[in-house]
Chain A
Amino acid sequence: MFETLTDRFDGILTRLRSRGRLGDAEVNEVLREIRVALLEADVNLNVVRDLVERIRARCSGAQLSKSLTPAQQVIKVVNEELTSTLGGDPLKIHYASRPPTVVLLAGLQGSGKTTAAAKLARWFKQQGRQPLLVAADLQRPAAVEQLRVLGLDVGVTVFSEPSDPVRVARQGVAEAERLGRDVVIVDTAGRLAIDDALMAEMKAISEAVKPDYTFFVVDAMTGQDAVQTAEAFNDALALDGVILTKVDGDARGGAALSVKQVVGKPIAFVSTGERTADFETFYPDRLASRILGMGDVLSLIEKAEREYDSGVAEKATERLMKGQFSLEDFLEQLQQIKRMGPLQGMLGMLPGVPKDFRDAKIDDKDVGRVEAIIKSMTPGERRGVTVIDGSRRLRIARGSGTSTTEVNNLLRQFKEMQKMVRSMGPVNRLVNGAKQKPSKGKQKGSRFTPSSRGAG
């Protein structure tokens, strides 16, 4: 088993020392998977095409990453592209010099406009403003009543009258002026983009109130149609931003990417629940990784960077290679690794880990036992200074609640592991680059023969 292990370590080493470039075949293979992932996330087909081409151009011939597999490297680029498409300059509300600042909401039926209106009102209040809500949806039964109830909930007055939407909107703004309110939020009826009459009405409302901000309210579970609808609304109204709703579900939210691409305006807010408090500013990186659906890969790499002290890791690896890696070092590393999450899942994510190991089953109990055994040792025993004789083994076994057999096994395997790693002598040079002198004379029977490994 250890023989094959040595062979397999080559994979890691090859990667570590490789100066190669990302091959098109690898990129294409990953992009095929990415395409599927994005389509399953409801990103519009044409947006996916554009995105995939941009990524292909970016990755083609790029320098191979030393720490990521080619697949992970491409995924990282995709994530960055998604994040930058979704992000860009965030929306900053510039209040009108002559109040009130008028905010108009538009969107399809059921997208969550009325609830969003109340949430926005609450948000403006938190910003120290005095908003007025205008219920201009006279189409949906009890829509006005709904906004009134929500208005009570957030402590904001609601204006409406039983006339027509354009008039209500206009009167609403006048009322806001009369009451000295500095923000007015106009809720409108949901409407289909292809309904000419209702789209004309929407334009009329917009012309009547001359909004400072027109927000397009979109349901996070919207599918491919998001593009057509967004385009139509944008053509009619010149949108200023997007509010994404029902984000607390498990829809991947690809529609947001499509809409952002089409409208080119910021996603200003996300609605994350049914309560009026469930309203947040938008964080593009979170939605990006959700759309891509490969969050664990990214978060693990991130976590590894953040939590695994790289200086300690380098030193530990040095000592590991030189055969100076003690049980104390091992324990330290084990505990660091544990902080990053279950070992089981981690193996699958790390670059360079051979397939056999990725699929290996680790029982956290075993890890616990190993830890307990080492912890029951004295510092001297851990550092390999004190020879662990029979009576010490017995003591350790008792102290850790294990058996002397297990203690024996651990010590024996640890030695084996040290020997095997040490036999990969040339790695010292590779891992540490120019600053480390190659280790002396420890290259007995190394199965690592670079020349036989093919192009790297």
Chain B
Amino acid sequence: MVLVIVLVAVVVLALAGVGLVASTRSRRRRSGGTAPAAVARPGGLAVPTPTGQVPAEAALEPEAIAERPALRDRLGKARQLLGGYLDGIRGRAFDAATFDELEEALLLADAGVATTTRVLDDLRAKVRSGEVEQTPDALLAALRADLEAMFEGDEPALAFGEQDRPTVWLFVGVNGVGKTTTIGKVAARERAEGHKVVLAAGDTFRAAAGEQLETWAERAGVTLIRGSDGADPSSVIFDAVAHAAARGTDLVLADTAGRLHTKVNLMEELRKVRRVAERPPGQLTEVLLVLDATTGQNGLAQAKQFTEAVGVTGIVLTKLDGTAKGGVVLAIRSELGLPIKLVGVGEGVGDLVDFDPAEFVAALFG
């Protein structure tokens, strides 16, 4: 109770300061136009918890103006990205900008601030200890080696269970990432490997999702088990596993509706789907999070939430045939230990490759 009185006094004083200026300061400009009459002002976007910390108040100093080096024009440099930093950096003498350029490459690849900082700090330490030579070539080579090493020990192969019961692979992820397309590709691939495959149309929500997966089932030459629209996804998957068990099918690929990881009820539904998928006779050996390579830092949040909800075993990184580099998987691998299993490189049924760390890292730097 001691503090309450004092703190309220403090607050009063502080607010008095705010209040004083509020009456004299002009109101913050309201930008944007007027909403059309038909659209009611919505309840508001949730503001996620701030990641930036407001620094402790700095002591006021007399006017000491720090000398800032002139900034180079980076825009032109960035456009050369696709041309490759290899060309830009290689063969040059080392200068302070070299680390900047490495940082830039990583950030532009969506590696994120935390991973980029950590990785470059490690590199700097190696330079200081003499482990790595301070030339652009050596630095780049060391950096690539370090990044590749992050995936050490990972196996791209997807796990099968015992032979006498169907193996189930569950595909999860947010909306629009390419789950259904990926399932089509995996089905074709596994069939070519000699497995008997059945698809479970576990997306009972999205308009025409069943039809979409049906097309892929035809393309891959496999059976599709569907429920009615709006049916319980768990029951569709249950039926598919039962069907597989009865016919000696060894692999069930279960599709699920895309869902934002922030939707509590949808994640709860997914938990239930998982519980059903792992019921005997099925053996749930993989829960694959499908992730779009164009995704930024939110990919890490997705990975965390989906893992927490249903225990993700591996990542499928899609749309890597575009210009996005998918660098967020570096953070996912390092923070969550999730291996990247497969990579999608197009919309065709054959556009699926195993994840290769060396290739992936090489592509990060153009």
Kindly report which residue of chain A lies nearest to residue B27, judged by CB atoms.
A305
Which residues A169-199 have CB closer than 8 A to chain B?
192-194
How many Å lie between the Cα of A64 and that of B74 in the bound state?
31
Chain B 185-209 per-residue mask, 1 if CB under 8 angstroms from chain A, else 0: 0000000000000000000011111
Q: For residue A224, which residues in chain B have a CB less than 8 angstroms away from its CB? A: 107-110, 296, 324
CB pair B1–A11 under 8 Å, yes or no, is no
Instruction: Produce 1/0 per residue, A334-353, CB < 8 A to B.
Output: 10010000010011111111
Interface residues contributed by chain B, number (CB under 8 Å): 108
* A window 20-54: CB within 8 A of B: 20-21, 23-26, 28-30, 33-34, 36-37, 39-42, 44-46, 49, 53
- Given A24-B65, A34-B52, A296-B50, decide whether A46 and B74 contact each other with a Cβ distance below 8 A: yes
Instruction: Determine the chain A residues whose CB is within 8 A of the CB of B38 once the complex forms.
Output: 126-127
Min CB distance, B24 to chain A, in Å? Answer: 9
Q: Whole-angstrom distance between the alpha carbons of A360 and B25 in the complex? A: 31
Measured in the bound complex, the distance between the Cα atoms of B13 and A71 in whole Å is 19
Nearest to B2 among chain A residues (CB) is A413
Partner of A350, one of B18, B39, B260: B18
Known: A39-B113, A75-B54. A45 touches B13 (CB 8 A): no
Q: Given A89-B33, A223-B324, A337-B11, do A69 and B296 touch, yes or no (CB 8 Å)?
A: no
In angstroms, Cα B214 to Cα A410, docked, is 73
Task: Looking at the assembled complex, report how far the CB atom of B82 sits from the nearest CB atom of chain A, in whole angstroms.
Answer: 8
With a CB–CB cut-off of 8 A, which chain A residues contact B297? 40-42, 223, 251-252
A108 at the interface (CB under 8 A from B): yes
B60 touches A310 (CB 8 A): no
How many A residues, CB 8 Å from partner? 157
Q: Cβ of A92: which chain B residues have Cβ within 8 Å of it? A: 33
Contact assessment for A320 and B21 in the assembled complex, using a CB-CB cutoff below 8 Å? no
Q: Do A370 and B60 touch (CB < 8 A)?
A: no
Which chain B positions have C-beta within 8 A of A18?
A: 60
Question: Are B39 and A29 in touch, CB under 8 angstroms?
Answer: no
24 A-B pairs whose Cβ atoms sit less than 8 Å apart in the complex: A37-B52, A45-B78, A49-B74, A69-B54, A69-B57, A90-B33, A110-B178, A126-B38, A139-B347, A140-B347, A143-B212, A149-B208, A219-B292, A219-B294, A224-B108, A247-B45, A254-B296, A293-B48, A293-B50, A310-B19, A316-B16, A351-B57, A366-B3, A417-B6
Known contacts A228-B323, A351-B57, then 17 further A-B pairs from the complex at CB < 8 Å, ordered by chain A residue? A9-B13, A24-B64, A24-B66, A28-B68, A44-B108, A84-B31, A110-B175, A141-B214, A142-B215, A221-B174, A292-B52, A305-B18, A305-B22, A308-B18, A320-B12, A348-B54, A351-B17
B residues in contact (CB < 8 Å) with A: 1-23, 25, 28-36, 38-39, 42, 44-66, 68, 71, 74-75, 78, 104, 107-110, 112-113, 174-178, 180, 205-209, 211-212, 214-216, 260-263, 292, 294-299, 301, 319, 321-325, 327-328, 347
